[in-house]
A and B are shown apart, each in its own frame.
Chain A
Amino acid sequence: MIEALFVGFGAAALVSALLVILHRNPVTSALFLVVAFCSLAGIYLLLHAEFVGMVQVIVYAGAIMVLFLFVIMYLNLGQDREGGAATVLRRMIGWLVGALVAVQAALLFAGHWAMGPVSGAPETGLGNTQALGQTLYTRYLFPFEITSLVLLVAMVGAIVISKGRGSRPAPGASAPAERPPRLEPGDRAAPPDGASS
């Protein structure tokens, strides 16, 4: 049963990941990426990583993909225009390098490698979330605090980058007084009057 579920989730993740890179429309790619992330969350649940699976759904499939879709729709991207000799060359190089990476992975799997001695975490009887929290707040406390600093810097950086220098007004932010005076409906009737004669 668990093996069948794993095969199903893995196949769903791989197929939707392939569709992400093969589909022309960025919105469809983003939606297939959501499917891939949710399948990965299922695999995490099967591997007894319940907390990480839930965080995967909330953070990746929720927050990050909403950000992607928001930017795609903000930029109003349509289908990709692809074509020409450069595209064919780039595709050939890309698939060739991909095959190289796959062959390297296959060689790694075919070689002899051992897991090393299994130390085995002591069975504390805690749930996955509780045990993870205890590990995170004791042994990994310093990296955890540094992570908050990384998030703060990224937040400030994203705001500064997307705000610009101030010379170029953000779309929709321009004051009405800066716009050129709009033509009144009555003014538009004048030029055809002279052109018709």
Chain B
Amino acid sequence: MIPPGGPLIVSALLFTIGVVGVLVRRNAIVIFMSVELMLNAGNLAFISFAYALHSLDGQVVVFFVMAVAAAEVAVGLAIIVNLFRLRESVFVDEINLLKG
């Protein structure tokens, strides 16, 4: 029997690692992977609450989160490929098309 606090601590640490990855790296694809890490931390929290409450609703929400994450990855990677064609770079500090 795993205490439900254990997975929640892992989830909080994973979310923290994702936040640091988004802020520290400048490669857009690695930033995207950090966003995926944060989504997975949220999924883990949902699963551990579903486990603690003996409920299935958390797992259903995780299912929806996975579908949205797949859609997000497809669109985001298409944007990154298009940006690379335009600027020959995937580094977010060199992509400043909207700078006034």
Contacts and interface: CB of A to CB of B under 8 A. Distances in A.
A and B found bound together:
yes
A90 B56 contact: no
A14 B72 CA distance: 23
Given A40-B40, A95-B20, A68 B14 contact: no
Secondary structure class of chain A's binding surface, majority of residues: helix
B95 to A, nearest CB: 14
Interface residues of A, number: 80
Contacts, number: 218
A90 B26 contact: yes
Interface of B: 1-2, 4-10, 12-27, 29-30, 32-34, 36-37, 40, 43-44, 47-48, 50-57, 59-60, 62-64, 66-75, 77-82, 84-85, 90-91, 93
Interface of A: 2-3, 6, 10, 13-14, 17-18, 20-21, 26, 29-30, 33, 36-37, 40, 43-44, 46-49, 51-52, 55-56, 59-60, 63-64, 67-68, 71-72, 74-75, 77, 80, 82, 86-87, 90-91, 93-95, 97-98, 101-102, 105, 108-109, 115-116, 118-121, 128, 131-132, 135-136, 140, 143, 147, 150-151, 153-155, 157-159, 161-162, 164, 168
